[in-house]
Chain A
Amino acid sequence: ELKVEQNPLFLSMQEEKNYTIYCNYSTTSDRLYWYRQDPGKSLESLFVLLSNGAVKQEGRLMASLDTKARLSTLHITAAVHDLSATYFCAVAPDVDDMRFGAGTRLTVKP
């Protein structure tokens, strides 16, 4: 059974410092997605990573994918308050079978 594990599940960040979230998955997949969810809201797509070595950046967030290690990372540079949210990674080993991790709840404190 496919397992998607995120680490850490909770992260309290200080402003202007750097952090990394890890997403490990248990089966081969060439597609990995990162989503953001604000409290009480739906999921917003952040990144789609489609191949080994893929790296994408948007603002203070950068995501990368290592399909051989079955690992994706989401790196946060110089955290700011508006990054506070829950971040999910999702893996799609089959065309339409998207499985989500449990989420990492980020809180940025001044």
Chain B
Amino acid sequence: DTGVSQDPRHKITKRGQNVTFRCDPISEHNRLYWYRQTLGQGPEFLTYFQNEAQLEKSRLLSDRFSAERPKGSFSTLEIQRTEQGDSAMYLCASSPGVLAGVGEQYFGPGTRLTVT
């Protein structure tokens, strides 16, 4: 399978716990994006990486959220001290970048987080 993969697909956690999600992009893609999608809404941009560098963070990304992409390969998104409002689908996407194509982003299956 050469698509974007995410793990886990579903996560149920209690309020106050920390959670970590993983995304493996398409191997030749140097750009990786994280989005959050709540029910009935479009994806909202959280952050993105070019290789290992985190280039932009949305104001939606509070201090409880942190993302890494060591060595420019897979990425992790950690949420500390989860709140019920964090319940959402977390989507990862990758792209070869505009210079290598049309800027199209390829999305993974998502991780659905439920905070109880």
Interface, chain A (partner B; CB < 8 A): 4, 31, 33, 35, 41-45, 48, 50, 88, 90, 92, 95-103
Contact = CB atoms under 8 A, between A and B. Distances in A.
B56 A98 contact: no
B42 A98 contact: no
A1 to B, nearest CB: 11
A61 B45 CA distance: 27
Contacts of A98: 33, 45, 103, 105
B40 to A, nearest CB: 7
Given A95-B98, A96-B31, A45 B104 contact: yes
Nearest to A90: B42
Interface residues of B, number: 26
14 contacts: A31-B103, A35-B107, A42-B108, A43-B107, A45-B106, A88-B43, A95-B98, A96-B48, A96-B55, A96-B56, A96-B95, A98-B33, A98-B105, A100-B42
